[in-house]
């Protein structure tokens, strides 16, 4: 489905540090208040009704119902609206065919259902696209943690040669040539005399992504005190998940996203899952002791985001659980245990974001054409 271009890619947004804009920056447009940033009341935590629930509450946390605030980048309805437009705008890619939504499809659990994503001219990178849903709760971004947060991450794909492959001039020219973007940037950054910039695009995308959270999964209801939210098999899976040691790595709000760990902590995985060439964190830090360390991925909505692993090399969640038992814990799990663990993982699917596809600024006669 949306694999249009390249394979490896960090292309979209990040390319153009200098988005030159002509005649923008009039901040006379008054910010208008919309309902985009409406907040809901956080459900209460009822007293724990059993020991399993008490144990789970020490290790995991429910997803909040409201988007978390980003330090130094306050959310406004106008900024979220701009970030949403940029997220969906394929004209930020050099071929005008790929947007963030191509590889992080809102209807596919925030991922793309493909082992590796096709980016610029169908080129593929070496890694599976992680979900953007709940990514705001991860302590770092990318499989190897090379971006510290969503704002920094959003700079990568626009310009990545295998993703959106947009030379920064292209991003700059596009935004400059789309007059409606000038007003949208000015509304989102009313105090900035020169609001149309790549840096502001990254900020806007980050606040939009922070709204892509999936609260109210059965597991969240359970953590909040509803003992009936999980059935007996799912509870048995939760107990195994904690007792066997999965939760030593997969913990917190995201059941992951809070540490790095070696893929192959106890036993080396098959090379189809962990090819020799991708050293993960070790390639970033230059420390051989961290070779094959990856960010422990979130397990939120895991039932929606096959295929699995950083290589996207396994389609079957039961097989993934089996591999995890062996490679991370040195355990041979029984068929019943695997079924129970998979049943528990199914309780991590929350309410999916309801996003209306935004109307994008129409291209003008002066807009640069797509580069074939």
- Comparing CB distances to ligand HEC, the nearer of 76 and 141 is 141
Half-sphere exposure of 346 (CA within 13 A, CB side): 16
Chain centroid to CA 352: how far? 13
- Comparing CB distances to ligand HEC, the nearer of 22 and 93 is 93
Q: Which residues contact 249 (CB under 8 A, 6 or more apart)?
A: 256, 259, 261, 296, 328
- Comparing CB distances to ligand HEC, the nearer of 16 and 125 is 125
In three-state secondary structure terms, 248 is helix
Q: Residue 322 Cβ, how far from ligand HEC at the closest point, in Å?
A: 8
CB 90 within 8 A of CB 99: yes
Report how far residue 340's alpha carbon sits from residue 231's, in angstroms, rounded to the nearest whole number. 11
Q: Residue 365 Cβ, how far from ligand HEC at the closest point, in Å?
A: 26
Report how far residue 246's alpha carbon sits from residue 251's, in angstroms, rounded to the nearest whole number. 8
- Comparing CB distances to ligand HEC, the nearer of 224 and 250 is 250
- Comparing CB distances to ligand HEC, the nearer of 117 and 347 is 117
Give, for 151, the enclosing helix (H) or strand (E): helix 150-154
The candidate with the shortest Cα–Cα distance to 326, out of 260, 250, 245, is 245
Q: Hey, what are 141's tokens?
A: 């971004």
- Comparing CB distances to ligand HEC, the nearer of 56 and 205 is 205
Binding site residues, ligand HEC, CB under 6 A = 6, 9, 11-13, 98, 100, 102-104, 117, 119, 125, 127, 129-130, 132, 135, 138, 141-143, 150, 153-154, 157-158, 163-164, 205, 244-246, 248-250, 261, 263, 265, 294, 296-297, 299, 302, 305, 308-310, 320-321, 324-325, 328-329, 341
**What amino acid positions are annotated as catalytic residues?**
163
Residue 268 is given by DSSP the state P
Give, for 281, the enclosing helix (H) or strand (E): helix 281-285
Q: Residue 350 Cβ, how far from ligand HEC at the closest point, in Å?
A: 15
- Comparing CB distances to ligand HEC, the nearer of 205 and 223 is 205
To the nearest 10°, report the CA torsion of 94, 210, 78, 89.
Answer: 20
In total, the chain counts a number of residues equal to 372
Give, for 260, the enclosing helix (H) or strand (E): strand 260-262
Q: Residue 101 Cβ, how far from ligand HEC at the closest point, in Å?
A: 8
Using alpha carbons only, give the angle 271, 273, 275 rounded to the nearest 5 degrees: 45
In three-state secondary structure terms, 213 is coil
Q: Which residues contact 139 (CB under 8 A, 6 or more apart)?
A: 145, 257, 258, 259, 295
Report how far residue 161's alpha carbon sits from residue 333's, in angstroms, rounded to the nearest whole number. 42
Chain centroid to CA 209: how far? 8
In three-state secondary structure terms, 207 is helix
- Comparing CB distances to ligand HEC, the nearer of 225 and 245 is 245
């Amino acid at each position: 489905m949306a694999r249009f271009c390249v394979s490896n890619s960090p292309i979209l947004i990040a390319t153009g540090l200098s988005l030159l804009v002509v005649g923008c920056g009039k901040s006379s447009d008054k910010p208008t208040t919309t309902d985009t940033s409406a907040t809901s009341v956080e459900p209460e935590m009822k007293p724990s009704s059993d020991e399993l629930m008490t144990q789970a509450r020490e290790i995991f946390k429910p997803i909040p119902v409201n988007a978390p605030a980003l330090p130094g980048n306050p959310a406004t309805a106008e900024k979220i609206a701009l970030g949403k437009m940029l997220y969906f705008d394929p004209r930020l890619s050099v071929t005008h065919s790929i947007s963030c939504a191509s590889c992080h499809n809102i209807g596919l659990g925030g991922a793309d259902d493909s082992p590796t994503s096709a980016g610029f001219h169908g080129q593929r990178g070496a890694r599976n696209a992680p979900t953007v849903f709940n990514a705001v709760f991860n302590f770092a971004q990318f499989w190897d943690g090379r971006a510290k947060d969503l704002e920094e991450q959003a700079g990568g794909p626009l310009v990545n040669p295998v993703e959106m492959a947009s030379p920064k001039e292209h991003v700059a020219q596009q935004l400059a040539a789309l007059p409606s973007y000038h007003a949208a940037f000015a509304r989102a950054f009313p105090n900035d005399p020169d609001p149309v910039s790549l840096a502001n695009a990254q900020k806007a995308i980050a606040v939009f992504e922070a709204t892509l959270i999936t609260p109210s999964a059965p597991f969240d209801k359970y953590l909040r005190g509803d003992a009936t939210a999980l059935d007996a098999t799912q509870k048995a899976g939760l107990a195994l998940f904690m007792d066997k040691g999965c939760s030593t790595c997969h913990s917190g709000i995201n059941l992951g996203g809070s540490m790095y760990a070696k893929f192959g902590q106890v036993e080396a995985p098959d090379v189809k899952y962990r090819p020799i060439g991708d050293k993960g964190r070790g390639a970033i830090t230059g420390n051989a002791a961290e070779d094959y360390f990856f960010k422990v991925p979130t397990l939120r909505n895991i039932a929606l985001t096959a295929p699995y692993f950083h290589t996207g090399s396994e389609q079957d969640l039961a097989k993934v659980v089996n591999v995890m038992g062996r490679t991370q814990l040195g355990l041979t799990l029984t068929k019943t245990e695997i079924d129970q663990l998979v049943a528990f993982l199914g309780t991590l699917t929350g309410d999916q974001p309801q996003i209306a596809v935004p109307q994008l600024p129409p291209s003008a006669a002066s807009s640069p054409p797509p580069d074939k």
